[in-house]
Structure 1
């Protein structure tokens, strides 16, 4: 593939024997005073010739259904690719219209960026990743020598006292409450002393339970310092907790 679009002797409209080289796969800006020939060069010459050559690749049967595109006044043009031109005029009279909505590409771009894009922390510039339960279990196993708890938050039923809430949670198999306020309680899904013989299955079970009951949000807490080691399963940077 050529590196440049080479234009020689462009005479379209008010252009007077203009020759230019435009790099391919780069963003190029054509600027100048009103009436200097910007649109004549970019739209009426380069884009029109790219469209005309593209249409010529179709069969004669297909071309009869397409509008005729006249060859612009130009001596020579090389390295040209099929072109797409977007005019300055917006036919849709609404402030919410964008290139994405007008070309019907907006939804596809949303899907692309949500799946393929990478998120970086604005403070430390490290990539933020959403870990799987298995990756979280591996993270916990590396906390050798620590005593940790996996906790999740739940809303307390209205008018429940702390004792009534603890009795209610005990009936569902949760005997340890990490902390509670009038409306929110942090419930322990599992406690572990991290050694080389720690059962990975028990860690996975606690993490999955906390993730399910905490609606994909839970914490891993150091039971010696009562400090949060990390919040998990949210797009949050672990280095800026």
Structure 2
């Protein structure tokens, strides 16, 4: 009977009078009765207390310190009882990194499960993300219409700040003639003066090919060279058409979305590698209240529209604001609400890469 019932013998918690009861398992059971008849004493002080006590005893010593140990209920025996978990509306820990998953250690098993048997899917188009072989890359290009003009590029610098003078020197030394810098084609012999604090893209033009039956061998060699130069990445740019990013790593073959090799830390919000970049894994982030920063939007920046930066004992911040507005041509003599949205964003959040 204990297999399909929870059997209670001699329950005496609070106002229970040594009762015996059999409750069906895997059913929706309602305990009802008059006030003071012992409903809560049976449900919470007997069944839940014993189920939770057994569950907590099965956890690690580390997890048990965060959960209160309940006293053994006054009962002779309970058979067929599964461990009971009750999640209250209030948490047992104020640490935002402590969740049901961490306390029960379920997260550890889920991370291993996802990393070992998970199959990554592109969030943009739902395509399975897999590493591509050189043969697959060539086959995809050869499937393009005949006489399609393409150029094979090696992305050696992707969204990195700097002048990259040594990169250009190496490209020229390796014998390549053309490069694409931030989307513009150049001869490698040109003099480049890239802004040091801006992010740049530099791609070597490895080869220019017209797709036909005889171009397979040449295409194979060109893509292989691009992969070698760009550490596993290659771009096939259709002249007058779209680009195709290829990767020997885990990459979406359609849109180029790339994800690293699946490993447990990728699924941990407590590790920088797997945490959300917006909230750092905390689930919330601090943001300023614009109405507190600029309570009177009819004031100009000269008149102190930015309340936190109004001079008190120092003109340091007002002077910085004046220099900033002068550099980016933001008027300080018109009401804040009449500034363009772009100007407001620069004043409130900074210029970002524009500096």
TM-score by length of 1: 0.57
Counterpart-to-counterpart distance in 1, 2:256 and 2:45: 49
Gaps of 5+ in 1: 53-70
Report the counterpart of residue 212 of structure 2 in structure 1.
195
Note the alpha carbon deviations across 1:53-73, whole angstroms, 9 max, x for none: xxxxxxxxxxxxxxxxxx973
- Taking structure 1 as reference, are residues 40 and 207 closer, same or farther at Cα in structure 2, changes over 3 Å only? farther
Partner of 1:116: 117
Q: Which residue of 1 is the match for residue 128 of structure 2?
A: 128
CA distance in 2, matches of 1:16, 1:196: 85
1:158 aligns to 2:163 (yes or no): yes
**Structure ranking higher on relative contact order (CA contacts 8 Å, 6+ apart):** 1
Cα RMSD over matched residues?
4.9
Summarize the alignment of residues 228-239 of structure 1 with structure 2, pairs less than 5 Å apart. 228=243, 230-233=244-247, 235-236=251-252, 238=254
Distance in 2 between the 1:159 and 1:21 partners? 69
Structure 2 residue 223 is the aligned partner of structure 1 residue 207:
yes
Cα distance in 2 for partners of 1:157, 1:175 equals 22
3-state SS, counterpart of residue 113 of structure 1: helix
1:8–1:20 contact (8 Å) kept in structure 2: yes
Post-superposition CA distance 1:37-95 (Å, at most 9, x none): 1574356259959x99xxxxxxxxxxxxxxxxxx9734x64xx8xx7666769887733
CA contact (8 A) 1:144 1:196 kept: no
Distance 1:239 1:184, change over 3 A: closer
Residues 91 and 120 of structure 1: CA distance in aligned 2, closer, same or farther (over 3 Å): same
**SS, match of residue 131 in structure 2:** coil
Q: Is the 8 A contact 1:100 1:106 kept in 2?
A: yes
Task: Supply the distance in 2 between the matched residues of 1:84 and 1:6 (Cα, whole angstroms).
Answer: 15
Secondary structure of the equivalent of 2:113? helix
Match of 2:8 in 1: 10
Distance in 1, Cα, partners of 2:7 & 2:105: 37
TM-score by length of 2: 0.42
Residue-by-residue CA offset, 1:132-162 (whole Å, 9 max, x unaligned): 23322222222241222221333497385xx
Which of 165, 170, 173 aligns to 2:172? It is 170
Deviation at 1:195, TM superposition (A): 2.2
* SS of alignment partner, residue 98 of structure 2: coil
Gaps of 5+ in 2: 33-38, 59-74, 185-193, 195-199, 258-355
